[in-house]
Structure 1
Amino acid sequence: MGDNKLSVTAASLQPELWTASANEALQIFVTDSEGKALNFQPTFTYPIFGDSEQVFGYIDLVIYLCFDHYSFYPFLNVKFSEKLEDSGIEDPKKILDEFLPESTVFKDEIKWRDAISKEHETYKIPGQSVGSELVNEGSRFGIYKIDLQSEAGLELHKRLQILVLLFIEAGSYIDSKDKLWDLYVLYELPSAEKKEPSIIGFCTAYNYWKYGGHEKFDNGVEEIRKKISQFVILPMYQGRKLGGQFYNSLYNEWLADERVKEIVVEDPNESFDDMRDRCDLKRLAQAIGVSAVKLPLDTKWSQQVRTSEKLEKRQFSRLLEMFLIYQREKQKSGKLQETLKVSSKDIRLFIKRRLFEKNREILESLDEPTRIDKLQTAYISLDQDYLRIIEGLELPLTPGRVDYNGSEHTQDSEPLQKKQKI
């Protein structure tokens, strides 16, 4: 690593030479079970290096942030060819140290590898296996609920959590000491070729207490609203539909938990929303059948289904609308029975009614022609989005729940991002 220093005065003539993009300078590596390093770059660095996502004062700056595949033991190194001589120049190592655990090894790669080898001698996943094993492209995967009250579980979370800042827009660290937080980690399980598990991704979820009425409260009946907060699949494992399998396995686990009354997601981005929609569509179709959704909608039946499937109100409404659009499209193609036909007009009015209720305050302030136009524009946009989501899906018209693990028609998610969606 070079440590040549020049004055700020000389550098001020060409500041662009001394300014590096933090997104490009930061190189993330995760070893595989054979010790080879797989490289990827962050999506965001502003939580660490500021809104400009730039580092000033270095030429040829490269920041290496490396992790072991199994215990995620971190290693940090900073290299550059020249550095400005000025006390105001920030040290990338000191900045990153604030976001990394104390166990992080700096610069000495041999020390890092020795530390990994020593840790692996006794290391075990600090948690309990949940759900069934998943199979993907011939490999086996398992989900572990990490014990955040244990020293090893807390340390693993400290090693993983920087990925939240690097891949989730507006992401922030959770309070891991809060016992209401759960951490689930997806591992590729050992095989003949791979002797140790490898971390593939993770999910955090918060257990909100849900008041179920005074009788349940007096009798000590616990009810929970489970909220997915952060969901990350490492970039080199995306594109294999592992995100959908991970999501579905967690959902099925919570579906079987009598304490969990509703499952929600905090501010998902578009890719996660698409994956979630397709998974939920398959699950709901297998539970009730697409043909069960008829207009006018039976509100009592609707509430019963939503409650049993533990879906939040908005998501359930969107799924019903997609079922109706699915029926409409099958009807157009002649693949829907005559007795199951639905009116395109009724579908349009049904969807517009929800859009109006959701945006009532704004729409009522407009004159009638403008209000009608806004609603029609919103409907057309949503209809096109629904068509995109259901494209390629084959949903059962009649019910028949199966243990669906999400291996079909699901897309891997980008990590969660803040967004709005009608």
Structure 2
Amino acid sequence: MTDLTEALKPELWTVSSNEALKLFVAEPNGTAINFKPAFTYPVFGDSESIFGFKNLVIFLCFDHYTFYPFLNVKYDTKLNDEVEEPKDTIMKFLPESTVFKDEIKWVDAIKNEKETYSIPGTIVGGFESFAIYKIDMKQAAAVELHKRLQILVLLYIEAGSFIDHKDELWDLYVIYDTPNDPEDEPSIVGFVTAYNYWKYPGASNFDAGIKQSRKKISQFVILPNFQGQSIGSKTYSALYDLWLKDDQIVEIVVEDPNEHFDDMRDKSDLNRLKSVINLKDINLTKVKSEAWLETFRVEQKLEKRQFNRLVEMILLSNFKTFKNLSYKNIRLFIKQRLYNKNKEALLSLEKPVRLDKLQTAYQTLEEDYYRILNGLNLYPKRPIEEEANSSKRIKV
């Protein structure tokens, strides 16, 4: 009886789905890169656990080039037939092409597909050995590629969800590591999805047939084995440069970024701005000019919240680096924005409490700004030749 009671203990039949799920990318040399998911609750539930099996392991493997998926599930014992098979659970989030159990069949399927396979899109940007392809979702191969990639959204983006590939307003960009030898296959590094929101261009432009849109970055995934190489920031910068050149796009925004993405975005935006203006020349007189602020913000296609953050960081950086600004005036300038943003809530408080809340919010923000600024070189020394041609830079 004791043995039976022990055997039926729930903890003996429960495993963390984060630990059970093993992800692999099969490399061209025959090896496989292994990495763990960040989340599994969208697939296996909020508890991120799987009940009813002993020594459960789920293998999900992708080809490095086509991302053709292979699934295998192993366990020693199953509690009873009423427990749902992990295969049935995860297959709901994988394309029908996924090969289960039969590894030889999977290898053959990849080989057959590659006989006629080409990336279903066109190169729109890149850096170093990496190329960014805009995927043509009108192609069947593009839809299939998206179905193979999209489970990574659930496994690596907090509260991530699938997009509707039939909605033509969605764009999919896939980043590939391209080898020097054209005979070798490229490897998928990550992908980005962005949505094109229609924006009313004003009466005269609307009558003239001028179209405008806001580009919203929705999903941004870099495979774990490629992280830590600044690929994310370089991809973001390359796409931003691409969209800056598109006259139809008037603003570039990000949907619900996490702290890590926010940091990368802030640093990338600051590095981009230093290439078009002399950041040292940005002072309180300029930033208090609504006309200057709006003109520059629109030129750079930045949303207001992000633009305000960048301006405030630049002011604090200028003060710390050159001591050419009044710290008190910078502090009051930033506090004014914080007050306006939270005016209704602050006005409900007694004045001493209100001032204390505002000061605390400012101190927290300033610390975060300096954390982001740490290590950035916003004032590179320019060669004499460039100084002579500085008139080419945007005047501030």
TM-score class, shorter: over 0.9
Candidates 57, 81, 84, aligned match of 1:90: 84
Query: Structure 1 CA distance, aligned partners of 2:330 and 2:391?
Result: 25
Residue 52 (structure 2) aligns with: 57
Aligned to 1:346: 329
User: 1:8-407 residue pairs with structure 2 within 5 A?
Assistant: 13-87=8-82, 89-131=83-125, 133-135=126-128, 140-192=129-181, 195-296=184-285, 297-331=288-322, 341-396=324-379
Any conservation in 2 of the 1:288–1:400 contact (CA below 8 Å)?
Answer: no
Is the deviation greater in 102-111 or in 284-293? 284-293
Report if the CA contact (8 A) 1:11-1:84 is conserved. Answer: no
Tell me: higher relative CO, structure 1 or 2? Use CA pairs within 8 A at least 6 residues apart: 1
One-letter amino acid of the structure 2 residue matched with residue 134 of structure 1? F
User: Would the alpha carbon gap of residues 212 and 193 (structure 1) be closer, same or farther in structure 2, given more than 3 Å must change?
Assistant: closer
Letter in 2 for 1:374: K
- Please tell me the residue identity of whatever aligns with 2:29: E
2:95 corresponds to which letter in structure 1?
Answer: P
Structure 2: 5+ residue stretches without partners: 381-386
Deviation (angstroms), 1:17: 1.1
**Counterparts of 1:60 and 1:177, CA distance in 2:** 40
Shift, 1:73, TM fit: 0.1
Secondary structure of 1:229 counterpart: strand
Query: Size of the alignment, in residue pairs?
Result: 380
In the alignment, is the contact (CA less than 8 A) between 1:46 and 1:52 conserved in 2?
yes
Amino acid at match of 1:352: K
Secondary structure of 1:288's match?
coil
Whole-angstrom CA distance in 1 between matches of 2:41 and 2:364? 32
Residues 405-420 of structure 1: pairs in structure 2 closer than 5 A: none
SS in 1 for 2:109: helix
Q: CA separation in 1, counterparts of 2:392 and 2:233?
A: 18
In structure 2, the CA distance between the partners of 1:363 and 1:52, relative to structure 1 (3 Å rule), is same
Would you say the 8 A contact 1:72–1:156 is kept in 2?
Answer: yes
1:27 partner SS: strand
Deviates more, 1:321-330 or 1:279-288: 279-288
List gaps (5 residues or longer) in structure 1: 1-8, 333-340, 403-422
Q: How does the TM-score come out when normalised to structure 1?
A: 0.87
The 1:221/1:312 distance shift into structure 2, 3 A limit, reads: same
Report the TM-score when normalising by structure 2: 0.93
Higher helix share: 2
Matched residue type, 1:313? K
Q: Deviations over 1:120-150 (max 9, x none)?
A: 111100001002x311xxxx11000001111
Please report how far the alpha carbon of residue 394 of structure 1 lies from its aligned counterpart in structure 2 after TM superposition: 1.3
Deviation at 1:311, TM superposition (A): 0.2
Deviation at 1:400, TM superposition (A): 8.4
The 1:31/1:251 distance shift into structure 2, 3 A limit, reads: same
Equivalent AA in structure 2 for residue 371 of structure 1: R
Report deviation, 1:35. 2.2
**Higher mean C-alpha deviation, range 304-313 or range 280-289:** 280-289
Deviations 1:87-143 (A, max 9, x none): 1x1111001111000000000001001100111111100001002x311xxxx1100
What percent identity do the matched residue pairs reach? 58
Please tell me the root mean square deviation across aligned C-alpha atoms, in Å: 1.6
Tell me if structure 2 keeps the 8 A contact 1:289–1:400: no
Partners of 1:151 and 1:101 lie apart in 2 by 13
Measure how far apart 1:377 and its partner are: 0.4
More displaced 10-residue stretch of structure 1: 295-304 or 176-185? 295-304
Matched position secondary structure for 1:148 = coil
